[in-house]
Amino acid sequence: MAAPQPESKFIELKPFSDEMIVSMGPQHPSTHGVLRLELKLDGEIVRDAIPHIGYLHRCFEKHSENLNYQQIIPFTDRMDYIAAMNMNWGFCLAVEELLATDEKKFSGVPERGEYLRVLIGELNRIGSHLLSFGTYGMDLGAFTPFLYAFRDREKILLLFEKICGARLTYNYIRVGGVSRDTPPGFIDEVKEFIDYFEPQIDKYNALLTANRIFIERTAKVAVMDTEMAINYGVTGPNLRGAGLQWDLRRDEPYSIYDRFDFDVPVGKDIPELGVVAGDCWNRYKVRMDEMKQSIQIIRQILESGLPNGPIQAEMKAVRPPKGEIFSRSEAPRGELGFYIVSDGTPKPVRLKAKSPCFTALSALQELSRGLMVADIIAIIGSIDIVMGEVDR
């Protein structure tokens, strides 16, 4: 199935037709930020839906050309603000890969730093999926899961506040390590949280995932098969929800992910529930299952214990050698890529961020054709976009 080419940028109406154009957003509570959808409606059937983006554009890429590598890290926080740790990490990985091309400049991240990165990154993945789960329930009319999800996310944010000093824009992971060591008692608190949180996921599954009304609302809606997902470049939980088992943490392990044992959950056809792989329900369910896998990774870290040693590699200044790099990492919403061109100065010549939300949003137009207006809400929630990352 090839992606259809839209004839023009804006929708054109035939005169005297029954169709009409409705602008959904940018101030719509269910568009998860400032997304404007131009809907061409025939009654309640959506004939076409064109996303208009750019309301949250902050010139991250151009701005980065005037900043040092250290100074760019706080700006990556503001891309995907739900999972800012993973954004920091993705950027630092790219800079470290670029630094590693010259062996004299960089000898690798210390063990303790790597362990802390994985611990924090997986905690942030749980926090991000919790927000996705909570708001998805609220979009579809279930208010209670939202409150439960935010209550539990608050516990993660408190942990982050203790380790890095901020609730949302962490600026924690640095080139060559992390910025602060764990405060006393932090590991016990993480363990306490994990022990509390693991049974909660089953509760949430009983509350929302298995709810028949929720299943009726999301099953077989906007089916994205594997081929379409690959054609659009969709990654992350949306791709895995379509049925393809692809996770960078397992298939191209970066950092120390090859030391941990975890499954990659994928979407499946379940006839008794009436769901098919690649529909909204499966995309949602993959996130719920991924939280369990993240807990499993954190448990393995806690069992082996954090190694002692430095948290930050010894380096004078971040000054990568001349060259270019494209590095990718598995953020909660998909593969986050950073393309950096360096000319040997402390500032990048060009920086490009490949956002997973942007590619997921590009599939919205094809997914939503022929469905009802109410299903648009279900699709946007299920592909789980953050406009801060789409627009950058």
Residues interacting with another protein, by CB under 8 A? 67-68, 70-75, 77, 144, 148, 151, 154, 158, 161-162, 165-166, 169, 171, 179-180, 183-184, 203, 206-208, 210-213, 216
CB of 56 to another protein, least distance (A): 16
Instruction: Give the distance, in angstroms, between the CA of residue 74 and the centroid of all CA atoms in the same chain.
Output: 17
Residue 216 or residue 227: which is nearer to another protein going by CB? 216
Residue 83 or residue 164: which is nearer to another protein going by CB? 164
Residue 55 or residue 150: which is nearer to another protein going by CB? 150
Residue 21 or residue 166: which is nearer to another protein going by CB? 166
Q: Any residues with CB less than 8 A from the CB of 62 and at least 6 apart, and which? A: none
CB atoms within 10 A of CB 254: 17
Residue with tokens 């010139």: 59
Residue 105 or residue 162: which is nearer to another protein going by CB? 162
Determine contact, residues 264/245, Cβ cutoff 8 Å: yes
CA distance 298 to 17: 57
Residue 203 or residue 322: which is nearer to another protein going by CB? 203
CA distance 280 to 285: 9
CB of 141 to another protein, least distance (A): 12
CB of 3 to another protein, least distance (A): 35
Q: Where are the alpha helices (DSSP H) in the chain?
A: 60-64, 69-77, 84-100, 111-139, 144-164, 186-204, 212-218, 226-232, 237-241, 248-251, 280-304, 356-362, 364-368, 373-383, 387-391
CB of 392 to another protein, least distance (A): 16
Token readout for 127 is 């926090």
CB of 183 to another protein, least distance (A): 7
CB of 316 to another protein, least distance (A): 13
CA distance 342 to 349: 5
